[in-house]
A and B are shown apart, each in its own frame.
Chain A
Amino acid sequence: MADIKNLEGMIDSTPIMKDYADIESSKLPEYQIDSKIPEGPVAEKWTNYKAHQKLVNPANKRNLDIIVVGTGLAGASAASTLGELGFNVYNFCIQDSPRRAHSIAAQGGINAAKNYQNDGDSVYRLFYDTVKGGDFRAREANVYRLAEVSNNIIDQCVQQGVPFAREYGGLLANRSFGGAQVSRTFYAKGQTGQQLLLGAYASLNRQIQKGTVRSYNRREMLDIVMIDGRARGVIMRNLITGELERYAAHAVVLATGGYGRAFFLSTNAMGCNGSAAVQAFKKGAYLANLAFTQIHPTCIPVHGEDQSKLTLMSESLRNDGRIWVPKKKEDAEAIRAGKKKPTDIPDEDRDFYLERRYPAFGNLCPRDIASRAAKERCDAGYGVGTGNAVYLDFKYAIERLGEDVVRDRYGNLFDMYQMISDDNPYQTPMMIFPASHYTMGGIWVDYELQTSIKGLFAIGECNFSDHGANRLGASALMQGLADGYFVLPYTMQNYLSDQIKVPHFKTDTKEFDEAEKGVKERIAKLMAIKGTKSPDQIHKKLGHVMWNLVGMGRTLQSLVKALDEIEAVKKEFYSDLRIVGSADDLNTELEKALRLEDFLVIAKMMAIDALNRNESCGAHFREEYQTADGEAARNDKDYMYVSCWKYTGDNEKPILLKEDLKYEAIQVQTRNYKS
């Protein structure tokens, strides 16, 4: 390991990377990556693919089994659509019902290139905005396909009975989101994720009723079973009985969400985890771009050490709210000391720093930029509240539109804020601060959404593919549903077309025996530690390391320090963990411990990925790589690639593989939201 004392002033990690990973082997022929991007101009690739792909006839679909792990927007839409096509689907979730997956908490909306507002939108513009928003680190062909199918998603959801917001004339309403100059976001109050998920859940229920989908709740995947080099099954832990269960299929789909709880505090739900990604990693799937984790600018600030999670305030609030901190440091100090109120500060003493720095996009600049700008002001001593907060003020919107209009647009969000903070945002500005929210990085997939393991697919947030280094608002719902409704149901058939003669798999084979034995040993090892710290106590420590050293601003030195500290937390985990209760029973502490063990793997890979990437791009901000005015300094010459990491053993160095990114339909440029 590199000695932190010798690294002073160093900004390029290349000389020390060999201590953490193998970054030289990427040139070897066996480590070249085939992303299977179809030939032809970007606008024709998906059409060409669909025209020439292989299909499975209806009589054969009945004989093919597919496991879908997860029931969020991606999982539920994939499971229901594959069921509609006639496949046998086994669908799993860790919650007590598929309807509770964390997609349900998405507030603001879903993008689509409908151009119903006649404001200049198009498939190309949605594609362009998404690639630019992702700071030119996403795969062009995937993003174009995403923009292309976005319109079908809205049609699908309206037909499902999703009650989107409408204008008085009866047509659909739209609003704007960060990183776009058009209004292309469809929404259902501040509960868009809920309504879209309930739509997918309804379609899923129809298939469960028909018998094409079998639904298993309160099950957690603890391993993927490989047979002859292909993913052919899973080991599930029944969270009620503690029993291990075996399920076999011709293909396995992971739709298991992001790894944002590596930071402990995040806007993710309590059960969100990165374990499926780690299991795939250990079986040979690559983890890609893990450094790209989104810190959302508008969350309710942390109140204390006993806090369990953070609450997001929808980005849609930035349509009408203005973000500011006091211009004078003495005002900020007086506010923090409780001697002044925000309403005491006159307009001329308020620094609307986003409008000042980014006049063209103002309060609607992308999330990574808005988050960093908030941190910059707070670090400079202008923060309010505990010092780690800025104001989001609706005074101006209320003056312009009236309180009723503001209430109609954001009422439920204002109520939610008041419930948590005890402040009335109609009368005093909201306080907000950035928090971990979404992970752009994840399991590497090719154009067909297949991982580097045959027969193992990854969809939705758990894959890496569409958002590059930063995701735009209202694009997560779009991607989850695009993958599940309109992409995977096609590409899956291309994979299964030569599997029609493969009979149903039995689960009493040696491969299943071995996988289950491995899981049993893993659980027994953790139960046997019998130390003194609960999983949550250790998870909080990991969270502090990640937030302070691998968070919004990273340096070579902070990342090296993080790798040391993650190692220390890991040591504590394996020597001082305490799990009360029994493994063969409902045991929430064991569930947390297993997830934490996997977060320790992801945390280390996040830090290694961030250390390797000697540039700033999107949400990955290496402080040593910035322009004179504090913007991200990208290095396209050396880093215009997807960094894929291959597992080589628990205590071995991972191997870096590079998928070079080529932009043919779009001109690569420096992101500019100023003019």
Chain B
Amino acid sequence: METNINVNLKIWRQRSPKEKGAFANYRVENVSTGSSFLEMLDMLNQQLVEKGEEPVVFDSDCREGICGMCSLYINGHPHGPVQGITTCQLHMRKFNNEDTITIEPWRSAGFPVVRDLMVDRNAFDKIQQAGGYVSFNCGGAPDANATPISKEVADTAMDSATCIGCGACVAACKNGSAMLFVSAKVSQFALLPQGKVERARRARAMVKKMDELGFGNCTNTGACAAECPKNISLSNIARLNREFIKAKLAD
């Protein structure tokens, strides 16, 4: 059954990308363990507003784990201590009364802090713009059942396509690498007949853009997949490496 708990929060506050940030301490009492983590932060912000202080800025939108807008580094883990979920799906029953919880933004060269816990993830859009699509114009597609695709291939492509673009992989990586994110999109298209046509061009373009934008190199530590809220597998990175080498050999 649900109860109420009190928690102590250590939250990173930072006015702008250029200003220095620091931790601030807060306390929230009487939080229902049935509340979500972000509802607990809503309670904190209500308290701050009542005191005339500016609320802690953090991103969130769908609050059901699919839009990829929420982030937060909670007690040293992107999206908190529970595996396979986003911050918005984390519930207070995972914490104990009087716990101290440390909350930080994604920290990576690729994602500058905008304010407090909000970061700029435009770099992810730019990587997708470099080649994360099948090139054709609306109206020209053949009948949807014209090309059979085996269930196994479709399911594997779906697993890769499940990436929500939240950036936890980059935040978890000591090198700040975006390989898991890039490889998930490259894999989805490399697996499907519709995407195979441009596979070499896509792999080259997306990797080039990722490097340009200052993301680090992959050293196969696997932290990205371990912290991914959608359980995107490391095998995607292996597939991207193969795709990239094949593309380079073809040059």
- A residues contacting B by CB (< 8 A) are 77, 80-81, 84, 95-100, 102, 104-105, 114, 116, 152, 154-172, 188-189, 191, 193-195, 198, 201-203, 205-206, 208-209, 215, 217, 240, 269-271, 303-304, 306-309, 311-312, 338, 415-416, 419-420, 422, 485-486, 489, 532, 534, 536-537, 578, 580-581, 586, 588-589
The listed residue (A164, A168, A309) touching B63 by CB distance below 8 A is A309
Which of chain B's residues 94-144 have a Cβ closer than 8 Å to chain A?
114-115, 118, 120-122, 124-125, 128-130, 132-144
Interface size class of B (residues with CB under 8 A): 35 or more
A420 and B89 in contact (CB under 8 A), knowing A161-B195, A202-B133, A240-B114? yes
Report B188-226 CB contacts with A as 1/0, cut-off 8 Å: 110010110000000000000000000000000000000
The listed residue (A105, A154, A306) touching B35 by CB distance below 8 A is A306
A172 and B145 in contact (CB under 8 A), knowing A97-B165, A160-B194, A166-B151? yes
A155 and B61 in contact (CB under 8 A), knowing A102-B67, A419-B89, A589-B49? no
Name the residue of chain A whose CB is nearest to the CB of B125: A97
Q: Is B158 an interface residue (CB 8 A)?
A: yes
- The answer on a CB contact under 8 Å between A163 and B188 is yes
Please indicate the chain A residues that have their CB under 8 angstroms from the CB of B57 in the complex: 586, 588
Q: How far is the CA of A416 from the CA of B89 in the complex (A)?
A: 8
Please indicate the chain A residues that have their CB under 8 angstroms from the CB of B39 in the complex: 306-308
- The answer on a CB contact under 8 Å between A102 and B192 is no
The listed residue (B121, B135, B144) touching A154 by CB distance below 8 A is B144
Report B59-96 CB contacts with A as 1/0, cut-off 8 Å: 11111111111000000000000001100010101000
- The answer on a CB contact under 8 Å between B194 and A269 is no
- The answer on a CB contact under 8 Å between A104 and B62 is yes
Q: How far is the CA of A105 from the CA of B67 in the complex (A)?
A: 7
The listed residue (A97, A168, A307) touching B151 by CB distance below 8 A is A168
Q: How far is the CA of A655 from the CA of B129 in the complex (A)?
A: 46
Please indicate the chain B residues that have their CB under 8 angstroms from the CB of A104 in the complex: 62, 66-68
Q: Is B245 an interface residue (CB 8 A)?
A: no
Name the residue of chain B whose CB is nearest to the CB of A581: B54
- The answer on a CB contact under 8 Å between B132 and A155 is no
Q: Is B38 an interface residue (CB 8 A)?
A: yes
Q: How far is the CA of A77 from the CA of B137 in the complex (A)?
A: 11
The listed residue (B120, B143, B151, B192) touching A167 by CB distance below 8 A is B151
Name the residue of chain B whose CB is nearest to the CB of A157: B144
Q: Is B34 an interface residue (CB 8 A)?
A: yes
A303 and B34 in contact (CB under 8 A), knowing A95-B69, A163-B158? yes
Question: Which 3 A-B pairs give the minimum distances between C-beta atoms?
Answer: A170-B148, A159-B141, A202-B133
CB distance from A82 to the nearest CB of B (A): 10
Q: How far is the CA of A129 from the CA of B236 in the complex (A)?
A: 42
CB distance from A158 to the nearest CB of B (A): 4
- The answer on a CB contact under 8 Å between A580 and B52 is yes
- The answer on a CB contact under 8 Å between A191 and B34 is no
Q: Is B161 an interface residue (CB 8 A)?
A: yes
The listed residue (B36, B133, B164) touching A205 by CB distance below 8 A is B133
Name the residue of chain A whose CB is nearest to the CB of B149: A170
Name the residue of chain A whose CB is nearest to the CB of B161: A163
Please indicate the chain A residues that have their CB under 8 angstroms from the CB of B42 in the complex: 306, 308, 536
- The answer on a CB contact under 8 Å between A97 and B121 is yes
Please indicate the chain A residues that have their CB under 8 angstroms from the CB of B147 in the complex: 158
- The answer on a CB contact under 8 Å between B154 and A165 is yes
- The answer on a CB contact under 8 Å between A105 and B125 is no
- Chain B, interface SS category: loop
- The answer on a CB contact under 8 Å between B145 and A159 is no
CB distance from B72 to the nearest CB of A (A): 14
- The answer on a CB contact under 8 Å between B194 and A161 is yes
Q: How far is the CA of A270 from the CA of B41 in the complex (A)?
A: 14
- The answer on a CB contact under 8 Å between B134 and A170 is no
Please indicate the chain A residues that have their CB under 8 angstroms from the CB of B46 in the complex: 534, 536-537
Name the residue of chain B whose CB is nearest to the CB of A208: B129
Q: How far is the CA of A498 from the CA of B230 in the complex (A)?
A: 49
Please indicate the chain B residues that have their CB under 8 angstroms from the CB of A588 in the complex: 55, 57
- The answer on a CB contact under 8 Å between A100 and B61 is yes
- The answer on a CB contact under 8 Å between A580 and B130 is no
Please indicate the chain B residues that have their CB under 8 angstroms from the CB of A105 in the complex: 62, 64, 66-67
- The answer on a CB contact under 8 Å between A191 and B151 is no
Q: How far is the CA of A100 from the CA of B134 in the complex (A)?
A: 20
Please indicate the chain B residues that have their CB under 8 angstroms from the CB of A155 in the complex: 141-144
Q: How far is the CA of A478 from the CA of B53 in the complex (A)?
A: 45
- The answer on a CB contact under 8 Å between B43 and A306 is yes
- The answer on a CB contact under 8 Å between B65 and A416 is yes
- The answer on a CB contact under 8 Å between A189 and B158 is yes
> With A99-B125, A194-B162 given, can you name 6 additional A-B contacts, CB distance below 8 Å?
A95-B61, A160-B133, A209-B129, A303-B32, A580-B48, A588-B55
Please indicate the chain B residues that have their CB under 8 angstroms from the CB of A168 in the complex: 150-151
- The answer on a CB contact under 8 Å between A308 and B194 is no
Q: Is B2 an interface residue (CB 8 A)?
A: yes
Please indicate the chain A residues that have their CB under 8 angstroms from the CB of B65 in the complex: 416, 419
- The answer on a CB contact under 8 Å between A163 and B49 is no
- The answer on a CB contact under 8 Å between B36 and A308 is yes
Q: How far is the CA of A188 from the CA of B43 in the complex (A)?
A: 36
- The answer on a CB contact under 8 Å between A269 and B62 is yes
Q: Is B240 an interface residue (CB 8 A)?
A: no
Q: How far is the CA of A203 from the CA of B162 in the complex (A)?
A: 18
Name the residue of chain B whose CB is nearest to the CB of A268: B62
- The answer on a CB contact under 8 Å between B165 and A206 is no
Q: Is B171 an interface residue (CB 8 A)?
A: no
- The answer on a CB contact under 8 Å between A586 and B114 is yes
- The answer on a CB contact under 8 Å between B125 and A102 is no
CB distance from B183 to the nearest CB of A (A): 15
Some 28 contacts from A to B, beta carbons below 8 A apart, are A80-B138, A98-B125, A99-B125, A100-B61, A102-B61, A104-B68, A163-B154, A163-B158, A164-B144, A165-B154, A166-B149, A166-B151, A191-B66, A203-B138, A205-B125, A206-B129, A206-B135, A217-B125, A270-B61, A270-B62, A303-B32, A306-B35, A306-B39, A308-B36, A534-B46, A580-B52, A586-B57, A589-B55
Please indicate the chain A residues that have their CB under 8 angstroms from the CB of B50 in the complex: 532, 534
Q: Is B157 an interface residue (CB 8 A)?
A: yes
Q: How far is the CA of A461 from the CA of B57 in the complex (A)?
A: 29
CB distance from B162 to the nearest CB of A (A): 7
Please indicate the chain B residues that have their CB under 8 angstroms from the CB of A167 in the complex: 151
The listed residue (B32, B55, B114, B122) touching A580 by CB distance below 8 A is B55
Q: How far is the CA of A264 from the CA of B22 in the complex (A)?
A: 34
Name the residue of chain A whose CB is nearest to the CB of B154: A166
Q: How far is the CA of A578 from the CA of B65 in the complex (A)?
A: 31
Q: How far is the CA of A581 from the CA of B43 in the complex (A)?
A: 18
- The answer on a CB contact under 8 Å between B141 and A422 is no
- The answer on a CB contact under 8 Å between A203 and B133 is yes
Q: How far is the CA of A81 from the CA of B138 in the complex (A)?
A: 6
Please indicate the chain B residues that have their CB under 8 angstroms from the CB of A489 in the complex: 138
The listed residue (B38, B55, B67, B161) touching A95 by CB distance below 8 A is B67
- The answer on a CB contact under 8 Å between A269 and B115 is no
Q: How far is the CA of A205 from the CA of B122 in the complex (A)?
A: 12
Q: How far is the CA of A166 from the CA of B121 in the complex (A)?
A: 33
CB distance from A223 to the nearest CB of B (A): 23
Name the residue of chain A whose CB is nearest to the CB of B127: A205
Please indicate the chain B residues that have their CB under 8 angstroms from the CB of A152 in the complex: 139, 141
Please indicate the chain B residues that have their CB under 8 angstroms from the CB of A415 in the complex: 84
- The answer on a CB contact under 8 Å between B134 and A205 is no
Q: How far is the CA of A98 from the CA of B133 in the complex (A)?
A: 15
Please indicate the chain B residues that have their CB under 8 angstroms from the CB of A114 in the complex: 144-145
Please indicate the chain B residues that have their CB under 8 angstroms from the CB of A486 in the complex: 138-139
The listed residue (A271, A537, A589) touching B61 by CB distance below 8 A is A271
- The answer on a CB contact under 8 Å between B141 and A156 is yes
CB distance from B194 to the nearest CB of A (A): 5
Please indicate the chain B residues that have their CB under 8 angstroms from the CB of A338 in the complex: 1
A269 and B138 in contact (CB under 8 A), knowing A202-B133, A205-B132, A209-B130? no
Name the residue of chain B whose CB is nearest to the CB of A154: B144
- The answer on a CB contact under 8 Å between B141 and A304 is no
CB distance from B56 to the nearest CB of A (A): 10
- The answer on a CB contact under 8 Å between A100 and B67 is yes
CB distance from B132 to the nearest CB of A (A): 6
Please indicate the chain A residues that have their CB under 8 angstroms from the CB of B189 in the complex: 161
